[in-house]
Amino acid sequence: MAETFTTKIYEVAKHIPKGKVATYKQIAALAGNPKAYRAVGNAMKNNPDMRIVPCHRVVGEDGKMHGYSAGKGISSKIQRLREEGVEVEQGIVDLKKYKWT
């Protein structure tokens, strides 16, 4: 059975370590289609298991929070990132410091 693009997205995203973030565009590229960042957003929105795929660690190319469907939305995403040691100032993560490479 062929692996779907969404499955590839989840495979990539589940490797983002605590204390780091990845961008939607970065995940799309690593999953095989750099222009499919919207598909990454859709996959994160429909994430079936946040314990396995840490969708709160995925942010915009500008370091901004661009949605979160769990808890109280973006405020919950920010809280989870801060608990993992990621500094979030005015809804933005410093990608030079926290971007997963």
CA angle 53/101/77 to nearest 5° reads: 40
- Residues with catalytic roles: 55
Q: Look at the block and give the residue holding tokens 């808890």.
A: 71
CA distance 48 to 53: 8
Q: Specify burial of residue 95 (Cβ count, 10 A radius: 0-12, 13-18, 19+).
A: middle
Neighbours of 61 (CB within 10 A): 12
